[in-house]
């Protein structure tokens, strides 16, 4: 067993090239190993002290969120809350204060759980992921990152260094809502993120919806502004998912609830697009789920 | 009588240690030369052991002892029925049954030893459905059940480990006269006590004596279990409980102390066991039992309940532990604290291949109260009466006769109903369409029993209480200081407590059955009164007065009404070194138990304990998300008759903790099994406790009704009663919002949704 604390991205990439596995907050890795899901990797490189990974940079047409940014930062950062509110909604629901203080956005998306909270918001925001290895890096649309439960298309020597999110148009809003049985230490039973853009007349000109915990990965659904006007968001979400039955819920219940939750996410996003201030997270502000 | 205000002040003696972390728990102990123990479990719910070979394990480096049933006295033990052995012999009957144990120099070596044990088991069909297990066609969990002994006189037959029938009047005839007859069926899943501290045991032999440090709620019972299974006299086994990290009933009973003592003896080294959370879920024989209820009541148009019949089937699991009296408890709770002249209830405790059931906080009561009180709202609805008015009309009051013939001395159930519903604004509060206030009443017995304590005053005037009682976090042992101080006119903080050590204190039943204050409280009072007598005599001698004229108060002994003729108690204590030491010993006196109509009752274990019953009413406001079935408790108003409240802050803490546990039982806590009888959610991720963020405001009101049937100064217990009525009240609120009772417990979001869309019982 070896444990190396990297102080730079280069050190971390070198360790990965030599077969080490990255650990940031460890909230999935350590818990998973203790539950017997997998063996703790014999060689670990800690990336939680690399300052370059923990920054949020606002560019002309996008925001660059370092992979080491914690959920506690995401849920409170004014730029995130202001422009990418669904990400803040999601980060605020992760685990407990202890989890949120060490758990990172990079860890959340690379863990590739279909029930992750930050994934669906990033999908509706059109985010990409920056993957680096020794000597090169590439940018992958986030929807292409996940290949199955716990599976990504990244290779073992690649490190997620940042999430890139395009700037949002004016008169737009996003929201993430999840079904939960309790208010802390919870995993989404189902979840939905929505992004809504409004035309000058206040009508919905664009809508995007992504769902968590109802398919092997986070999925984006086909939906049009007309679906919102017709009130058929719930139907669309329920039809386009492929949930499983497990300890938390049956497939039948998940299929029903994801429609309810998707509809509420679209509603909250539209209200935010129209200028209404709904506090983060939507679940608490609107009394949704266990709120 | 009420205590004076200073006596009601609460300074908890173990508080600073627990809050600062300086207190020590069993898992904190490390002894020189200590080995680590691990168990090999059955891992299948039912099977015949065809091969068990530990020879390779004995050769593993670092392994110093390996034990199976071949290495300990081959006898069956058990609280109610002697139906189990320390290690599995021939047949395994639940997945957490211990087959072998290893002690080694490290946890890794112990695990290597466990892995080297060769176990081959022919798996048998698991008996998992408690109603099927009750049928004559069912295979048996214990083929040899008829040969087992029952020290408690359980009525047994095949898979039935205990049976009780209570009967009053002629229920069948009365049912025919009723204007309305309502039948209901309810199914409660099993659940867990889930103390935060997973259990730990450390054993060390010196000569022919063993000291065992263990996280038990019942040190004397643990000691007696070791003595029984290893063949030792009581005075050679000392059980000490360091601070206990919660129990909630799960740590009642004798569990693994003998395994570790036997390992320690074989290895000639101290041995330590610390459970993982998973082991804490799977291995103990104290899970909250699953129960199936069928109840039918006949009610008149005027609101009188005239008849009730019921059938209760309790899942005993693989072994009986202390569940022998559960049929009686469940029957009493299905009869309920109501005036019903004609009752017949049959209750069965039935073996399955599930983990054994046992006393978890108010065993059977939360489930039975949930079933009965849901049924009670259905009765009220059948005649169009408000459910609170219906309860006020039918509930028992002072002087009424209960279902087994007991006449109740002063009780305050009606006051509880009025207090809880009044404070909750029942019937007066504007509620949103997705909100409702549900109301339920509950009760719980007081269990009189033997219990002892010593009290001494040192020469400097400081006092010490040496008690056999066990503190499991409720504060009941801490409250003993107030009783001693009250008798001796001293301050509670003048006393230290030596407790939970079988070699130091006299016998006590432990932190079980809400009995500590009722029984040990009287013992401490009696011990203190001996010293008070000594002090009065000493002061009387000094002032040439009669001992009857000496009063003890504010730290002095004084001739009544003459403050200038007083002496500090500390000065009398100092002079006791020259006369007679200030030592008192006390025991709880036997109590007259209620007269039962034995001719109409089969199996009365536990029934006579309905002396000084505690009553409660919970009014709970709940918000239900109809689209998803998620229910959220908005507020809880709890009113309790636990007699005189000795320590209001501690008692309020018990109400709040019991309510929180009740919310979990109501909404999220339930064991899920697979078809082979294995627990599917034996982990905190998937077994959903309520978190601090989920807990609503809890408002407590004590209805202090004095009765001579209670313990010290009219105090009854208060540890289990708060856990009884919460789930039932939540159920009635949910039912009001979704239009029909949810007939499965816990009432998970999915179940609430399925019921609200009319799909009845669902699997998970």
* Other beta carbons less than 10 A from residue B749's beta carbon: 26
Establish if B317 belongs to a structural domain.
Answer: no
- Helical H runs in B203-302? 219-230, 257-267, 277-282
Token code pair at residue B246: 């919660």
Does residue B409 have a pLDDT over 90? Answer: no
User: CA–CA separation, B631 vs A278, rounded Å?
Assistant: 23
Does residue B22 have a pLDDT over 50? Answer: yes
* Other beta carbons less than 10 A from residue B721's beta carbon: 29
Which residue from A162, A155, A122 is spatially nearest to A9, judged by alpha carbons? A162
Select from A249, A257, A291 the residue whose CB has the most chain B CBs within 10 Å, as the one to mutate to test that interface.
A257
Model pLDDT, residue A290: 47
Yes or no, beta carbons of A187 and B632 under 8 Å apart: no
Model pLDDT, residue A1: 86
* Other beta carbons less than 10 A from residue B85's beta carbon: 20
Establish if B292 belongs to a structural domain.
Answer: no
User: CA–CA separation, B295 vs B297, rounded Å?
Assistant: 7
Chain A residues whose CB is inside 8 A of the B692 CB are 184
Q: Which of B554, B587, B620 is the last residue of a domain?
A: B587
Chain A residue with minimal CA distance to B632? Answer: A290
Across the interface, which of A181, A253, A291 has its CB nearest the CB of B668? Answer: A181
- Calculate the alpha carbon distances from A76 to A196, B273, B457 in Å: 22, 44, 59
Interface of B with A in 577-636 (CB under 8 A): 623, 625, 627-628, 630, 632
Residues in A lying within 8 Å of B, measured between beta carbons: 35, 96, 179-185, 187, 189, 245, 247-250, 253, 256-257, 260-261, 287-291
In terms of domains, do B386 and B486 share one?
no
Token code pair at residue B332: 């009493």
Lowest mean pLDDT among A35-44, A199-208, B362-371, B573-582: A35-44
Q: Please identify which residue in the block is written with the tokens 């869309």.
A: B757
Judge if ipTM > 0.90.
Answer: yes
User: CA–CA separation, B215 vs B202, rounded Å?
Assistant: 9
B762 touches chain A (CB under 8 A): yes
Lowest mean pLDDT among A30-44, B448-462, B681-695: A30-44
In terms of domains, do B660 and B742 share one?
yes
Chain B residue with minimal CA distance to A178? Answer: B628
Quote the minimal CA–CA distance from A98 to chain B in Å: 14
* Residue pLDDT, tens place only, A85-142: 999 999 999 999 999 999 999 999 999 999 999 999 999 999 999 999 999 999 999 9
- Calculate the alpha carbon distances from A201 to A168, A204, A275 in Å: 19, 9, 14
B432 touches chain A (CB under 8 A): no
Instruction: Answer yes or no: are the C-beta atoms of A21 and A13 closer than 8 Å.
Output: no
Quote the minimal CA–CA distance from B162 to chain A in Å: 33
In terms of domains, do B431 and B510 share one?
no
In this structure, the strands spanning B463-467 and B495-498 are parallel
Yes or no, beta carbons of A250 and B750 under 8 Å apart: yes
Give the pLDDT band of residue B4 (cuts 50, 70, 90).
very low
Establish if B617 belongs to a structural domain.
Answer: yes
Yes or no, beta carbons of B630 and A289 under 8 Å apart: yes
Torsions phi, psi for A50 (to 5 deg): -85, 110
Across the interface, which of A183, A249, A290 has its CB nearest the CB of B750? Answer: A249
Select from B189, B279, B627 the residue whose CB has the most chain A CBs within 10 Å, as the one to mutate to test that interface.
B627
In terms of domains, do B382 and B458 share one?
no
Interface of B with A in 14-33 (CB under 8 A): none
Establish if B296 belongs to a structural domain.
Answer: no
| DSSP SS3 for B310 | strand
Domains and CATH numbers, chain A: 172-285 (3.30.390.50)
Model pLDDT, residue B611: 79
Quote the minimal CA–CA distance from A250 to chain B in Å: 8
- Rg of chain A over Cα atoms, rounded to whole angstroms, equals 18
In terms of domains, do B443 and B471 share one?
no
Establish if B468 belongs to a structural domain.
Answer: yes
* Residue pLDDT, tens place only, B175-200: 999 999 999 999 999 999 999 999 99
CATH code at B484? 3.30.365.10
Angle in degrees, CA A181, A186, A189, rounded to 5: 60
Establish if B302 belongs to a structural domain.
Answer: no
| DSSP SS3 for B721 | helix
* Other beta carbons less than 10 A from residue B491's beta carbon: 17
Establish if B265 belongs to a structural domain.
Answer: yes
CA torsion sign, B269 to B274 to B279 to B285?
A: positive
Angle in degrees, CA B524, B527, B531, rounded to 5: 130
Does residue B225 have a pLDDT over 80? Answer: yes
Does residue B354 have a pLDDT over 50? Answer: yes
In terms of domains, do B578 and B516 share one?
yes
* Residue pLDDT, tens place only, B81-94: 999 999 999 999 99
Chain B residues whose CB is inside 8 A of the A96 CB are 691
In this structure, the strands spanning B305-317 and B343-351 are parallel
Compute the mean pLDDT over every residue in chain A, rounded to the nearest whole number.
96
Cα-based torsion angle of the residue sequence B538, B540, B543, B544 in order, rounded to the nearest 10 degrees: -120
Token code pair at residue A23: 């650990």
Burial readout B401-425 (b: 16 or more C-beta within 10 A, e: otherwise): ebbbbbebbbbbbbbbbbbbbebbe
Across the interface, which of B625, B691, B753 has its CB nearest the CB of A183? Answer: B691
Lowest mean pLDDT among B321-330, B385-394, B661-670: B321-330
Torsions phi, psi for B125 (to 5 deg): -60, 130
Does residue B617 have a pLDDT over 80? Answer: yes
Which residue from B265, B275, B202, B204 is spatially nearest to B230, judged by alpha carbons? B265
In terms of domains, do B520 and B624 share one?
no
In terms of domains, do B366 and B246 share one?
no
Residues whose CB is less than 8 angstroms from the CB of residue B278 and which lie 6 or more positions away in sequence, other chains included: B682, B683
B681 touches chain A (CB under 8 A): yes
Chain A residues whose CB is inside 8 A of the B668 CB are 181-182
Does residue B689 have a pLDDT over 50? Answer: yes
Torsions phi, psi for B448 (to 5 deg): -70, 145
Select from B632, B749, B757 the residue whose CB has the most chain A CBs within 10 Å, as the one to mutate to test that interface.
B749
Q: Please identify which residue in the block is written with the tokens 């983060």.
A: A280
Burial readout B527-557 (b: 16 or more C-beta within 10 A, e: otherwise): bbbbbbebbbbbbbebbebebebbbbeebbb
What percentage of chain A has pLDDT greater than the value 90?
Answer: 94
- Calculate the alpha carbon distances from B610 to B275, B582, B613 in Å: 36, 37, 5
Quote the minimal CA–CA distance from A79 to chain B in Å: 27
Chain A residues whose CB is inside 8 A of the B762 CB are 250
Token code pair at residue A186: 């919870």
Token code pair at residue B678: 């294995």
Q: Which of B246, B274, B302 is the last residue of a domain?
A: B274
CATH code at B64? 3.90.1170.50
Does residue A238 have a pLDDT over 80? Answer: yes
Chain A residue with minimal CA distance to B752? Answer: A253
* Other beta carbons less than 10 A from residue B579's beta carbon: 12
State how many domains chain B has. Answer: 3
Torsions phi, psi for B687 (to 5 deg): -100, 105
Give the pLDDT band of residue B492 (cuts 50, 70, 90).
very high
In terms of domains, do B372 and B437 share one?
yes
User: CA–CA separation, A47 vs A104, rounded Å?
Assistant: 11
Model pLDDT, residue A95: 95
Give the pLDDT band of residue B424 (cuts 50, 70, 90).
very high
Across the interface, which of A187, A247, A260 has its CB nearest the CB of B628? Answer: A260
Across the interface, which of B628, B685, B764 has its CB nearest the CB of A250? Answer: B764
Residue B683: DSSP 8-state: S
In terms of domains, do B526 and B615 share one?
no
Helix (H) or strand (E) holding B708: none
* Other beta carbons less than 10 A from residue B123's beta carbon: 12
DSSP string, A114-150: TT-SSHHHHHHTT-EEEEEETTEEEEEEGGGTEEETT
In terms of domains, do B438 and B459 share one?
no
Select from B621, B682, B690, B750 the residue whose CB has the most chain A CBs within 10 Å, as the one to mutate to test that interface.
B750
Model pLDDT, residue B10: 64
Residue B723: DSSP 8-state: G
Chain B residues whose CB is inside 8 A of the A253 CB are 750, 753-754
Residues whose CB is less than 8 angstroms from the CB of residue A196 and which lie 6 or more positions away in sequence, other chains included: A172, A173, A174, A204, A206, A207, A228, A266, A269, A270, A272, A273
Yes or no, beta carbons of B667 and A181 under 8 Å apart: yes
**What is the longest distance spanned by two Cα atoms in chain A?**
62
Does residue B590 have a pLDDT over 90? Answer: no
Chain B residues whose CB is inside 8 A of the A183 CB are 691, 693-694
Does residue B3 have a pLDDT over 60? Answer: no
When pLDDT is averaged across residues B738-757 and rounded to a whole number, the result is 94
Instruction: Answer yes or no: are the C-beta atoms of B51 and B120 closer than 8 Å.
Output: yes
Question: Helix B476-488 crosses helix B521-543 at what angle (to 10 degrees)?
Answer: 20
When pLDDT is averaged across residues B117-133 and rounded to a whole number, the result is 98
* Other beta carbons less than 10 A from residue A141's beta carbon: 12
- Count chain A–chain B contacts defined by CB atoms under 8 A: 62
Which residue from B154, B91, B185 is spatially nearest to B316, judged by alpha carbons? B154
Domain of residue B381 covers: 361-447+609-756
User: CA–CA separation, A278 vs B653, rounded Å?
Assistant: 36
In terms of domains, do B514 and B618 share one?
no
What percentage of chain B has pLDDT greater than the value 70?
Answer: 96
Question: Helix B387-394 crosses helix B413-424 at what angle (to 10 degrees)?
Answer: 170
Model pLDDT, residue B762: 55
Select from A1, A178, A181 the residue whose CB has the most chain B CBs within 10 Å, as the one to mutate to test that interface.
A181
When pLDDT is averaged across residues A151-179 and rounded to a whole number, the result is 97
Does residue B470 have a pLDDT over 70? Answer: yes
Select from A178, A253, A265 the residue whose CB has the most chain B CBs within 10 Å, as the one to mutate to test that interface.
A253
User: CA–CA separation, B402 vs B168, rounded Å?
Assistant: 10
In this structure, the strands spanning A151-152 and A146-148 are antiparallel
Q: Note the Cα A11 to chain centre separation in Å.
A: 27
Residue B697: DSSP 8-state: P
Q: Please identify which residue in the block is written with the tokens 């229910």.
A: B631
Model pLDDT, residue A287: 80
Yes or no, beta carbons of A253 and B754 under 8 Å apart: yes
Quote the minimal CA–CA distance from B241 to chain A in Å: 29
Lowest mean pLDDT among B154-163, B585-594, B680-689: B585-594
Establish if B337 belongs to a structural domain.
Answer: no
| DSSP SS3 for B352 | coil
Across the interface, which of B627, B667, B686 has its CB nearest the CB of A247? Answer: B686
Model pLDDT, residue B2: 41
3-class secondary structure for B25-94? EHHHCCCCCCEEEEEEECCCCCEEEEEEECHHHHCCCCEEEEECHHHCCCCCECCCCCCECCCCECEECC
The tally of CA atoms less than 13 A away on the side-chain side of residue A13 is: 15
Q: Which of B274, B306, B332 is the last residue of a domain?
A: B274
User: CA–CA separation, B742 vs B751, rounded Å?
Assistant: 7
User: CA–CA separation, B335 vs B403, rounded Å?
Assistant: 7
| DSSP SS3 for B640 | strand
User: CA–CA separation, A258 vs A241, rounded Å?
Assistant: 8
């Amino acid at each position: 067993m070896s444990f190396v604390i990297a102080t730079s991205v280069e050190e971390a990439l070198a360790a990965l090239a030599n077969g080490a596995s990255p650990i940031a907050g460890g909230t999935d890795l350590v818990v998973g190993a203790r539950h017997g899901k997998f063996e703790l990797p014999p060689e670990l490189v800690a990336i939680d002290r690399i300052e370059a990974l923990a920054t949020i940079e606002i560019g002309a047409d996008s925001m660059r969120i370092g992979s080491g940014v914690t959920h506690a930062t995401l849920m409170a950062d004014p730029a995130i809350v202001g422009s990418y509110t669904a990400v803040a909604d999601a980060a605020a629901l992760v685990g407990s204060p202890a989890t949120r203080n060490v758990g990172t956005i990079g860890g959340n998306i690379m863990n590739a759980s279909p029930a992750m909270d930050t994934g669906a918001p990033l999908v509706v925001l059109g985010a990409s992921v920056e993957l680096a290895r020794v000597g090169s890096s590439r940018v992958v649309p986030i929807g292409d990152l996940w290949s199955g439960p716990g599976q990504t298309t990244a290779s073992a020597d690649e490190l997620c260094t940042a999430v890139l999110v395009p700037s949002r148009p004016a008169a737009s809003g996003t929201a993430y809502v999840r079904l939960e049985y309790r208010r802390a230490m919870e995993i989404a039973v189902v979840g939905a993120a929505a992004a809504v853009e409004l035309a000058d007349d206040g009508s919905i000109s664009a809508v995007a919806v992504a769902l968590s915990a109802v398919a092997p990965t986070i999925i984006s659904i086909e939906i049009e502004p007309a679906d919102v006007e017709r009130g058929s968001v719930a139907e669309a979400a329920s039809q386009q998912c492929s949930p499983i039955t497990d300890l938390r819920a049956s497939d039948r219940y998940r299929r029903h609830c994801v429609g309810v939750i998707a509809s509420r996410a679209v509603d909250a996003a539209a209200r935010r697009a129209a200028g209404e201030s709904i506090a983060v997270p939507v679940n608490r502000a609107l009394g949704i789920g266990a709120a | 009588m009420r205590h004076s205000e200073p006596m009601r002040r609460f300074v908890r003696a173990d508080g600073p240690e627990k809050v600062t972390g300086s207190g020590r728990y069993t898992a904190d102990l490390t002894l020189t030369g200590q080995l680590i123990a691990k168990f090999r479990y059955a891992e299948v719910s039912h099977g015949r052991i065809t091969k068990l070979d530990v020879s390779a394990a004995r050769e593993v480096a670092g392994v110093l002892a390996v034990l199976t049933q071949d290495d300990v006295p081959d006898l069956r033990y058990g609280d109610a029925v002697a139906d189990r052995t320390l290690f599995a012999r021939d047949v395994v009957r639940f997945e957490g049954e211990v087959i072998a144990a290893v002690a080694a120099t490290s946890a890794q070596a112990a695990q290597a030893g466990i892995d080297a044990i060769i176990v081959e088991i022919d798996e048998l069909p698991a008996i998992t459905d408690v109603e099927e297990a009750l049928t004559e066609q069912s295979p048996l969990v214990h083929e040899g059940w008829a040969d087992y002994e029952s020290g408690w006189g359980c009525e047994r037959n095949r898979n039935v480990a205990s049976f009780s029938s209570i009967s009053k009047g002629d229920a069948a005839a009365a049912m025919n006269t009723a204007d309305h007859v309502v039948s209901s069926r309810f199914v409660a899943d099993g659940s867990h006590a889930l103390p935060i501290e997973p259990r730990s045991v450390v054993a060390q032999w010196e000569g022919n004596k063993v000291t065992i440090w263990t996280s038990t709620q019942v040190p004397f019972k643990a000691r007696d279990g070791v003595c029984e299974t290893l063949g030792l006299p009581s005075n050679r086994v000392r059980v000490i409980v360091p601070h206990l990290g919660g129990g909630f009933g799960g740590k009642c009973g004798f569990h693994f102390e003998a395994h570790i003592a036997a390992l320690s003896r074989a290895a000639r080294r101290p041995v330590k066991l610390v459970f993982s959370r998973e082991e804490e879920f799977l291995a103990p024989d104290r899970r909250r039992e699953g129960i199936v209820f069928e109840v039918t009541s006949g009610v008149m148009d005027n609101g009188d309940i005239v008849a009730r019949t019921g059938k209760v089937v309790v899942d005993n699991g693989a072994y009986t532990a202390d569940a022998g009296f559960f049929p009686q408890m469940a029957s009493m709770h299905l009869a309920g604290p109501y005036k019903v002249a004609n009752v017949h209830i049959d209750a069965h405790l039935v073996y399955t291949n599930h983990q054994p059931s046992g006393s978890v906080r108010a065993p059977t009561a939360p489930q039975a109260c949930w079933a009965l009180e849901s049924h009670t709202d259905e009765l009220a609805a059948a005649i169009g009466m408000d459910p609170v008015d219906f309860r006020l009309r039918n509930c028992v009051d002072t002087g009424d006769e209960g279902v087994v013939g007991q006449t109740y001395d002063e009780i305050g159930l009606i006051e509880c109903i009025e207090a809880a519903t009044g404070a909750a604004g029942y019937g007066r509060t504007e509620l949103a369409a997705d909100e409702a206030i549900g109301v339920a009443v509950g009760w719980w017995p007081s269990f009189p029993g033997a219990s002892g304590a010593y009290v001494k005053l040192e020469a400097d005037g400081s006092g010490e209480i040496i008690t056999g009682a066990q503190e499991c976090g409720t504060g009941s042992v801490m409250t003993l200081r107030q009783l001693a101080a009250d008798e001796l006119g001293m301050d509670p903080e003048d006393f230290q407590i030596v407790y939970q050590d079988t070699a130091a204190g006299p016998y006590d039943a432990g932190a079980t059955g809400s009995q500590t204050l009722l029984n040990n409280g009287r013992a401490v009072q009696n011990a203190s009164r001996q010293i008070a007598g000594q002090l009065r005599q000493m002061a009387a001698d000094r002032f040439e007065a009669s001992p009857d004229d000496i009063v003890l108060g504010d730290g002095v002994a004084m001739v009544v009404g003459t403050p200038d003729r007083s002496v500090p108690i500390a000065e009398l204590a100092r002079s006791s070194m020259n006369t007679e030491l200030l030592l008192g010993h006390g025991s709880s006196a036997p109590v007259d138990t209620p007269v039962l109509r034995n001719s109409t009752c089969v199996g009365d274990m536990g029934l006579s304990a309905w002396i000084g019953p505690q009553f409660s009413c919970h009014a709970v406001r709940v918000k239900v998300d109809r689209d998803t079935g998620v229910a959220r408790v908005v507020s809880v108003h709890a009113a309790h008759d636990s007699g005189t409240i000795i320590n209001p802050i501690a008692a309020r803490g018990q109400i709040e903790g019991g309510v929180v546990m009740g919310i979990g039982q109501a909404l999220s806590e339930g064991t899920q099994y697979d078809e082979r009888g294995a627990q599917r959610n034996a982990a905190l991720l998937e077994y959903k406790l309520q978190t601090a963020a989920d807990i609503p405001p809890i408002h407590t009101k004590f209805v202090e009704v004095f009765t001579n049937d209670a313990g010290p100064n009219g105090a009854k217990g208060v540890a289990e009663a708060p856990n009884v009525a919460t789930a039932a009240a939540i159920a009635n609120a949910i039912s009001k919002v979704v239009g029909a009772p949810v007939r499965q417990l816990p009432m998970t979001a999915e179940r609430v949704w399925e019921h609200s869309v009319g799909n009845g019982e669902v699997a998970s």
